[in-house]
Amino acid sequence: MPGWKLSRTLWPAVFLLVALFFFFENTSVDLWLQDFFFNFSTGSWLVDKDALGLKWIFYKGAKGVIIVFTLSLLILALGPRRWREHFNIPEPARARLLVVVLSVIITPTLIGQIKHYTWVACPWDIQRYGGDLPYLKVMEPYPPGTRPEVLIASFPAAHPSGGFALLALAGLAVTRRRQLLGIAAGLGMGGIMGLYQMAKGAHYLSHVLISALLCWIMFLILHRLVVRRSP
């Protein structure tokens, strides 16, 4: 079964990114959903951010799995051709593998840089959930005298972007079934990492969704630059 032309989703993804951004900027959906993760009686989140077991599995462990997997793909890309043929990766196989590697490296790094400019507080830092800061959306300025000098900025969501970057696995296939498997892997890994961050008060839903779309858009751009220009 032939696959979809993934490149055709670039502009719809950009449109959806803009639409989602302004939807969350003009609604209170983020707070409504985040309330389900916070116990107002005890002042605690559904997941304790200092719980070592969960932290090792969904934070450090998830990062480790992604790093090892990405290094494996890099070795596969740089190795002999017969390795890539064994996994039935369509030509140009090396370029397709490099797109995945670049997506995992570049997208989380880019999102990490964007956070320094948006300067959006984590849920655990706002007054509604026991913090010291007012709840502000991305386009809202801090009232005079309230902007913190140091802040763990949270928009877009950087940690889940490592998982969502695996959406680029869809580019390793030409059949619809394998493309869907790649998309499912990226959404599954990023979604689990994002849900963990939301449950401990580190991110809102909008932060996670915007991160996912940025990862998809970056993958499509890299695919166009690297794969289409490969001999």
Helix axes 176-199, 61-78, angle to 10 degrees: 150
Measure the CA–CA gap between 206 and 33, rounded to whole angstroms: 10
DSSP-assigned letter for residue 129 = G
Considering the chain, what is the average pLDDT of its residues? 92
pLDDT of residue 229: 67
| Band of pLDDT at residue 3, cut at 50, 70 and 90 | low
pLDDT of residue 1: 46
pLDDT of 230 higher than 70:
no
Whole-prediction pTM: 0.93
Residues 6+ apart with CB under 8 A from 211: 111, 156, 157, 158, 160, 161, 164, 190, 194
Domains and CATH numbers, the chain: 30-139+149-227 (1.20.144)
pLDDT of 183 higher than 80:
yes
Nearest to 97 by CA among 81, 112, 109, 118: 81
